[in-house]
Structure 1
Amino acid sequence: MIEISRIDGQFRGWDELLALILSSFAYMEGVIDPPSSAHRLTLALLAQKARDEMAFIAKDGRSLVGCIFLKLELRCVYVGKLAVAPDRQGKGIGRRLLDVAETVAREHGVPALRLETRIELAANHAGFFRWGFLKTGENSHPGYARVTSIEMTKQLG
């Protein structure tokens, strides 16, 4: 049974969380340019990110199987570092983590979720579209003249 909880000051599983993020983003290596910011994460940076944002983990018993980081913005909640263990993808864990994001947005009175996904990751675009996200913009990373990511937004009813 999957349990989702917010990371708090008692959390001690930083190594496992970093490994989860890196393993779930590994398929992007050699596919996206520039490389994922996940590679710049350290244990200290990850702990700081969890303090600066709202971080939730999904566990199946003792196993960490997913996470999501949420940042409250003026008109939305930004969804970042949504990660599901590779061997657990396609089982509804990502959807459950996005449900938590929707709850957080409603609790804070903001009408939407927002995320960015790399331009090369068409399967991700399709998955987020199925979950109710629509393309709302295109962005370029610093130093790139071409589009490197798209912004997607889900309006909450």
Structure 2
Amino acid sequence: MTGTRPYDPERDDLAEIVTLVHSAFAQYRGKLEPESGALTETVDSLRKRLEKNRLFLAEDDGRISGAVFATQKGDAVYLDRLAVDPEVRCRGIARRLIETVEAHARATGAARITLGVRLALQHNIDYFQRWGFVETGRQAHAGFDAPTSMDMEKWL
């Protein structure tokens, strides 16, 4: 049974979460320009993220199987670094993490959830569209002339 919960610094090991993020994003290594920043996360970088972000975890039979960051930005909560262990994908873990971020956003009074997704990852764009996210713009990473990512949002 999978459940979700907030990160607990007394209980959770950031090294385990870094390993999860690297494993979840490994399929994109060498396929994205620029490379995904998720592949360079470290215990220190996650600790720094936690200064301004909430981290929610999914558990599957007592082990961490997914993670997602949520950051309050004005009237929105930004969903970031959605990661699911490849060994347990297609079991609704990503959906539960998104629902957890939605519940968090509502509890904080946010009007919407926003996120960014790489244009090269059409399957991810399709996934978020199925959950009610719509495109709101496109961005180019530093050093690129053409857009490399899509901004999306879902009104609550």
Q: TM-score range by the shorter chain?
A: over 0.9
- How do 1:105-144 and structure 2 match up within 5 A? 105-144=105-144
> What is the rounded CA distance, in whole Å, between the counterparts of 2:25 and 2:43 in structure 1?
16
Letter in 1 for 2:73: E
Aligned residues: 156
Quote the residue 2:155 is aligned against: 155
Quote the residue 2:70 is aligned against: 70
- Structure 2: segments with no counterpart, 5+ residues: none
Query: Conserved in 2, the CA contact under 8 Å of 1:7 and 1:50?
Result: no
Instruction: Say yes or no: does 1:81 pair with 2:66.
Output: no
- SS of the aligned residue for 2:51 comes to helix
Query: Conserved in 1, the CA contact under 8 Å of 2:25 and 2:39?
Result: no
- SS of the aligned residue for 1:143 comes to coil
- How do 1:44-55 and structure 2 match up within 5 A? 44-55=44-55
TM-score, normalisation: structure 1? 0.95
TM-score, normalisation: structure 2? 0.95
> What is the rounded CA distance, in whole Å, between the counterparts of 1:145 and 1:93 in structure 2?
35
The percentage of aligned residue pairs carrying the same residue is 33
> What is the rounded CA distance, in whole Å, between the counterparts of 1:151 and 1:28 in structure 2?
19
- How do 1:24-35 and structure 2 match up within 5 A? 24-35=24-35
- Structure 1: segments with no counterpart, 5+ residues: none
Post-superposition CA distance 1:38-59 (Å, at most 9, x none): 1221111112212320001111
